[in-house]
Amino acid sequence: MKKEDIPQDPSALTNVSREVVYVKDKDGKYVTDLSTGWEVKADALDNAWDEIKERVEEARKAVQNGEISPVKYFMELKLMDIALLSSYTGFWKFNIKRHFKPDVFSSLSDDKLHKYAKAFDISLEELKKFKG
């Protein structure tokens, strides 16, 4: 690809980051330059964000219906998985899955809830009072 052919299609990350690409300059030598992205990549990124939004919304509705605890919602909202949340809180993955149950969540101590709140970068009250 020539330097003047670098794709500069807008995407969700246009104002956040740029990608380094290798291109040929006018002398035919490979050099690096920046691209804001290309349409195919932007479409893939948009699809991924749509899927994330759907998972967050499903978790919010499940909290609202009393099917799941706020731990699952905030984990989805903060783009975490159980392994990452486990490393942040020090809880075993098995226990985190149990904490997804509303009745188990409601019996957790403030110390345990505080670990979750810290991991999610929210207040303890926000975690305890979240109803979807």
96 lies in some domain:
yes
Note the pLDDT of residue 28.
86
**What is the pTM for the complete model shown?**
0.77
In a domain, 106, yes or no: yes
Query: How many folded domains does the chain comprise?
Result: 1
Does any domain span residue 12? Answer: no
Residue 71's Cβ-count burial label (10 Å; 0-12, 13-18, 19+) is buried
Round the average pLDDT of the chain to a whole number and report it: 91
Q: Could you tell me the mean pLDDT of each successive run of 10 residues in the chain, 132 residues long?
A: 74 74 87 81 86 97 97 97 98 98 97 98 97 88
pLDDT for the residue numbered 13: 65
CA gap 53, 55 in Å, rounded: 6
Range of the domain at 122: 42-129
Is 4 within a domain? Answer: no
Whether residue 26 lies inside any domain: the answer is no
| Inside any domain, residue 58 | yes
Residue 6 lies in a domain: no
pLDDT in tens, 37-52: 778 877 888 899 999 9
**What is the per-residue pLDDT for 26?**
86
DSSP assignment of 13-80 equals TTTT--EEEEEE-TTS-EEEEEE-B-HHHHHHHHHHHHHHHHHHHHHHHHHHTTSS-HHHHHHHHTT-
Confirm whether 20 is domain-assigned: no
CATH of the domain at 76: 1.10.260
